[in-house]
């Protein structure tokens, strides 16, 4: 008797979008760890450092929320190119939150990597 497969309600693409969305706050805090950046620099840092391609319309509302939570502060700085830029930096609370989230991420990733070890072997074989 043939076994009937149950369709998966969410596509893998949707899952990946949710994974990226869920880690975006940590990624932004990590991007700001080294010092203040303006919005476009944050976007570039995310793309270069993590392959997170994020739209401006996603980052700026999140920066506003992080500012409202007291994790990020912003200041307008005049630019040589003529228009002022808003620079963002971590507050002391933001640095503590980034450390806390980083510890949580490391624990979660390590435990998930342990669980995924049997699949990792299969993935390595696929690459060969």
pTM of the model: 0.81
Q: Is 35 left (phi over 0), alpha (psi -120 to 50) or beta?
A: left
Mean pLDDT, all residues of the chain: 87
Average pLDDT over residues 42-71: 91
More confident residue, 13 or 113: 113
3-state secondary structure of 2: coil
Of the chain, the percentage scoring pLDDT greater than 90 comes to 57
Average pLDDT over residues 34-43: 94
Cβ neighbours around 104 below 10 Å, total: 11
Domain 12-127 in this protein, CATH class: mainly alpha
At residue 50, the pLDDT reads: 84
For 62, list phi and psi in degrees, rounded to 5: -70, -40
At residue 17, the pLDDT reads: 81
């Amino acid at each position: 008797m043939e076994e009937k497969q149950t369709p998966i309600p969410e596509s893998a693409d949707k899952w990946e979008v949710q994974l990226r969305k869920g880690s975006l706050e940590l990624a932004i805090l990590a991007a700001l760890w080294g010092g203040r950046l303006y919005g476009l620099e944050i976007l570039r840092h995310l793309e270069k450092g993590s392959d997170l391609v994020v739209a401006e319309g996603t980052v700026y509302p999140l920066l506003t929320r992080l500012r409202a939570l007291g994790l990020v502060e912003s200041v307008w700085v005049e630019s040589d190119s003529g228009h002022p830029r808003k620079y963002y930096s971590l507050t002391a609370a933001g640095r503590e939150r980034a450390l806390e989230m980083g510890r949580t991420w490391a624990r979660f990733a390590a435990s998930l990597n342990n669980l995924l070890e049997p699949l990792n072997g299969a993935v390595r074989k696929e690459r060969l």
